[in-house]
Amino acid sequence: MKTFIMAFSALLLTAICAQAQFEKGDWELGMTITAGSYSETSKSDYYEYEDRATYLAVALIPGYFLIDGLSVEPEFNYYTLQDADATFQLLGNLSYTGWIPGQRAAWFVRAGIGTGNGVPYPGLTFSLWDAEESILVLNFGAGLKVPVSHHAALRTELNYRIYRFTHESSPYEYPSGSTDYDIRDFGFRIGFSILL
């Protein structure tokens, strides 16, 4: 724990003296990692259910600045849940980054659309589908980039996603027929960006 606190303090001190670039023609490679555990318990008069799992989510977010502050960011998300197949998403985002006046930090907002082969939401019994079924993903985010050197920044983000899809059940499944899903997810991401 002491090592973590010392490393984090060194990064913050470095950020005071550093300034990253977000200018036309610049490239940025962002990465966020989320890991955690999930548990669910439900009871009724007729049954009792308990489930526990760990998960890992990794997002790679390369970006190219079209003009000062405005970047195009394709995004690849990889999710794995304990005892389940992995799922992925591929998104196209448009992002704007601006410096906070008088500070060594920049704010950003982004929005995008994409698709994936599953819903990375722990606890959903239908979280992974056949790869032939695609899921519409709408992505909205806002956060901070805090430079730690001329070519690196810490990245935090509040992220809101909407997953929309239709699942066609076979006549042998319950319930059978077509079911439309609209799943909304609000989360916090932390990671870093390499500025090239």
pLDDT reported for residue 13: 42
Q: What is the pLDDT of residues 99-145, one digit of tens each?
A: 999 888 999 999 999 998 877 665 554 444 444 567 899 999 999 99
- Residue 3: pLDDT band by 50, 70, 90 thresholds? low
Cα(74)–Cα(58) distance, integer angstroms: 14
Token digits of residue 137: 């993903």
Q: What percent of the chain has pLDDT above 70?
A: 74
pTM of the model: 0.75
Question: Is 157's pLDDT higher than 70?
Answer: yes
Residue 19: how many CA atoms within 13 Å on its side-chain side? 8
Cβ atoms < 10 Å from Cβ of 56 = 14
The CA-atom distances, in angstroms, between 148 and each of 31, 151, 192 are 15, 8, 10
pLDDT reported for residue 122: 58
List, in order of start, the domains of the chain with CATH numbers: 2-195 (2.40.160.20)
Return the H-helix or E-strand segment holding 173.
none
User: If you compute the radius of gyration of the chain from its CA atoms, what whole number of angstroms results?
Assistant: 20
pLDDT reported for residue 156: 94
Alpha-carbon torsion 101, 102, 103, 105, what sign? positive
Largest CA distance in the chain: 64
* Chain position carrying tokens 């992995």: 86
Query: Are the CB atoms for 112 and 91 separated by under 8 Å?
Result: yes
At residue 35, φ and ψ (nearest 5 deg) are -135, 150
